[in-house]
Amino acid sequence: MTDQRATPQDYQYLFELSGSVGERVLNDLMRRFSTQDTYVRGGHEAERESCYRAGRRSVVEHLVKQINLANGVKDDPVSESDE
């Protein structure tokens, strides 16, 4: 398997241009993984839950960031960890 990375245009095509199925999937992912607050008040278990929620949210944020880049919207410079 080759190490080809997805481009912002790939994300745009999959979630915006390929039809209503891609949009429906993206909306579902956003609803499931990015609408809940990441911070949970409490002790050690709450800290773990906060980290878990932040990880879930970061995946959806990456998808949206790539789509935005393909549409010419630039918010932050892409860091090496985002590539």
Write out the E strands in the chain: none
Instruction: Give the pLDDT confidence score for residue 77 in this predicted structure.
Output: 57
Nearest to 65 by CA among 4, 3, 2, 6: 6
Instruction: Give the pLDDT confidence score for residue 66 in this predicted structure.
Output: 96
Residue identified by tokens 């919207």 is: 73
The whole-model pTM stands at: 0.77
pLDDT in tens, 44-77: 999 999 999 999 999 999 999 999 999 999 876 5
- At 5, the amino acid letter reads R
- 3-state SS, one letter per residue, for 32-51: HHCCCCCCCCCCHHHHHHHH
Instruction: Give the pLDDT confidence score for residue 64 in this predicted structure.
Output: 95
